[in-house]
Amino acid sequence: MTKIIACIGSGNMGLALMKGAARSMRGDCSAHAYSIGFTDTDQAKASTAAQAIGASVYASNSEAVSQGDFVFLAVKPQVLSEVLTEIGPTISNRIRAGAAPILVSMAAGWSIKRIQTVLAGSGGTVVPGIIRIMPNTLALVGQGIIALTASPDVPESKSAELKQILAGSGLVDTLEEQYLDAVTALSGSGPAFVYMFIEALADGGVRSGLPRDKALRYAVQTLLGAAAMVQETGKHPGELKDMVTSPGGTTIAGLAALETGAFRGIVMNAVDAAWKRSQELSSN
């Protein structure tokens, strides 16, 4: 039996997760088969996204909700209320028919309760199954990390099925909803912080005389290798740092410069600022 994944929104994150879903399907030996469809206010954009992964395009959000077993809400937080109001009646019809979809929201600042409240006001019924996820853009290359939390009425089998769908986008981790603002700050915003560090590391190489292309290549591989060392050895980053740091050597000189510039404090402050902004969005 073919199950349908409908994605409302065909922007970077929606497309990234649907690409991951397509990767998961190619490697899935279970009895389930899936089809993917997009809808977007920009139909040309939806068509481009669909063509990229062999998906279909729905004529409207309501059509997507009427068809989908899993309906991804891949729209910006500021337009989610409008989308929920639009699809609320269709969801109510499906609930009454005993065929309610699972809604999958990735909107920062939108709690499960808030989504349910808007749906109740628009369609007269609270949708029985809502799953919140917080992915990051690394899902584009299948290396994301996706935090997942479900409303109590979502069967464990549905959560497990969604994890399987998302597996092609990266690591999926179940987390309590109260921590999602912190996840938004750390792994949601974190790639931008890392890109800035890679750029600065490469600039340092150029300053030391390396050609730009070589400096960037070495910086990127250094980040990849360092992350793999932490992941594969299980050692604390501080311990690995000490393994590289010889007395009176080049590394300790560079670390001293980082400490003089309050490097760790600046990074912590960046995550804290992102977390506070996520909380502000949650309270709106």
pLDDT in tens, the chain (284 residues): 788 999 999 999 999 999 999 988 775 545 457 899 999 999 999 999 999 999 999 999 999 999 999 999 999 999 999 999 999 999 999 998 988 999 999 998 899 999 999 998 876 666 779 999 999 999 989 999 999 999 999 999 999 999 999 999 999 999 999 999 999 999 999 999 999 999 999 999 999 999 999 999 999 999 999 999 999 999 999 999 999 999 999 999 999 999 999 999 999 999 999 999 988 877 76
DSSP β-bridge partners for residue 146: 172
**How many angstroms separate the Cα of 112 from the Cα of each of 32, 77, 97, 148, 151?**
27, 13, 23, 12, 7
Distant-in-sequence, close-in-space partners of 138: CB < 8 Å, separation ≥ 6: 144, 145, 170, 191
Domains in the chain, please, with CATH?
2-180 (3.40.50.720), 188-283 (1.10.3730.10)
Amino acid identity, position 72: F
Q: Distance between CA 21 and CA 16 in Å, rounded?
A: 9
